[in-house]
Amino acid sequence: MSNSSSGKNIVLGVTGSIAAYKAADLVSRLTKSGHEVHVVMTKDAQEFITPLTLQVLSRQPVTTDLYDEKQNWHPGHIELADNADLLVVAPATANLVAQFANGLAGDTLGAIHLATLAPVLIAPAMNGKMWQHPATQANVETLKSRGVSFIGPEEGLLACGYEGIGRLWPVEGIEAEIERLLAEKS
């Protein structure tokens, strides 16, 4: 189900971070590279960027609700999970990291995470104190022990006004890591 023979099927989760606007650039880059990108947005992500923007850039419907699957009898989130070559969450909030670490499936993104056998890449973006909190670090270690990959966060000026770690890794770097993981999987 990809746009080219080398293209892969990427499920991109977007969560409620100010860095959500950078998902548009990532989707555009991945689509131009020949990948089929299926965006899944949390409710909070929709406060920062619209589904329509990501739908136009991906040329695919954007999933925003676990219960908005009226196209056919087959649950759409399971189909996305089954067909994914890679599940990427960029940006990923502390809440998402905790949700994945604890195996919660209270929304579409959590359900896809639990249902996929694809590799997972998480690009965190949050306040530095949230990133460094022992609970977040324990959740990161739990996910790493399960084979989940992380890229970032990086240091710099944060949206909250603090200077420090917590910024979303540059989009070019996330794209390069996606390509590396996909090549490794092939």
Q: Which residues are catalytic?
A: 160
* 178 Cβ contact partners less than 8 Å away, ≥ 6 residues apart: 10, 30, 86, 88, 121
Alpha helices in the chain (DSSP H): 22-32, 51-58, 76-83, 94-101, 108-115, 128-132, 134-145, 171-185
Please name which of 74, 53, 60, 65 lies closest in space to residue 11, comparing C-alpha atoms: 60
Q: Residue 12 in 3-state DSSP? A: strand
Query: What is the C-alpha R_g of the chain?
Result: 15
Q: Say how far apart CA 109 and CA 92 lie, in whole Å.
A: 11
Q: Say how far apart CA 75 and CA 148 lie, in whole Å.
A: 25
